[in-house]
Amino acid sequence: MKNFLDCVYRIFRKIATIGSDKYLHLIAGLIVAFVLGRLLANVEAWAFPAITGVLLLMVAKECVDYYLRDEQFDLKDVAAGLVGAVVGVILCLL
C-alpha cells in the first residue's frame, strides 16, 4: 500500500510542476475540438477536421506570440492543446 501511495504522490508532484499556461491551452483545445466536433457531426470523418483545426489554431497562437509579442515559440503549448483536442473528440463520442 505504501508503494502505491508513493507512486500516486509522484504522479501528482509531476502534474503540479506543469505551468498553468499549459492547462489553459488544454482547456482551449478541448473546447474548440468539442465545438468543431458538434458542428461537423454530420460529416463522416469529423474527428480529423476537429483535431486539425485545433492544431492550426494552436500553431497560429504560438506564431503570434513569437512574432508579435516577442515570446518563445513553445511546442509544449501546442502539445497541450492537442491533448485537449483529443479529450474533446472523446467527449463528442460519448
| Burial class, 94, CB count within 10 angstroms (exposed 0-12 / middle 13-18 / buried 19+) | exposed
Compute the distance between CA of residue 14 and CA of residue 81 in angstroms, rounded to an integer: 19
Would you give per-residue pLDDT tens digits along the chain (94 residues)? Answer: 677 877 877 877 776 677 778 888 999 999 999 999 888 878 788 888 889 999 999 999 999 989 988 889 989 999 999 999 999 999 888 8
Compute the distance between CA of residue 15 and CA of residue 44 in angstroms, rounded to an integer: 36
The pTM assigned to this predicted structure is 0.77
Q: Where are the domains of the chain?
A: 19-93
- Cell numbers 463522416 correspond to 44
Q: Which amino acid is at 55?
A: L
